Amino acid sequence: MLVDTHLFAWNPALWNWPELRDDIRALAKRGHLDTDWSAGRTRNLEPGSRAFLVRLGVPPKGLFGAGTVMTAPVERRHWRKDKAAAGAKTGYVMLRLDALFEMPIVTFDDLAQPPFAGFRWGIRQSGVRVPGPLAEALDALWQSRCAAATAAASAKPARRAVYVPGLVILWRILVRLGAEEVTYGRNSVRDGLAGRLVRLVVGSEDGFYWIRMIVRLEIVR
Domain ranges of the chain: 5-155, 161-219
Average pLDDT over residues 189-207: 45
Mean pLDDT (the chain) is: 79
What is the per-residue pLDDT for 36? 94
Does the structure show a pLDDT above 90 at 4? yes
What is the per-residue pLDDT for 120? 96
Mapping DSSP to helix (H, G, I), strand (E, B) and coil, where does residue 173 land? helix
Q: What share of the chain is helix, strand, coil (3-state, %, to 5)?
A: 25, 35, 40
Q: What is the pLDDT of residues 184-193, one digit of tens each?
A: 444 333 344 4
- The CATH number of the structural domain formed by 5-155 is 3.10.590
Share of the chain above pLDDT 90, in %: 54
What is the per-residue pLDDT for 156? 63
Average pLDDT over residues 3-12: 95
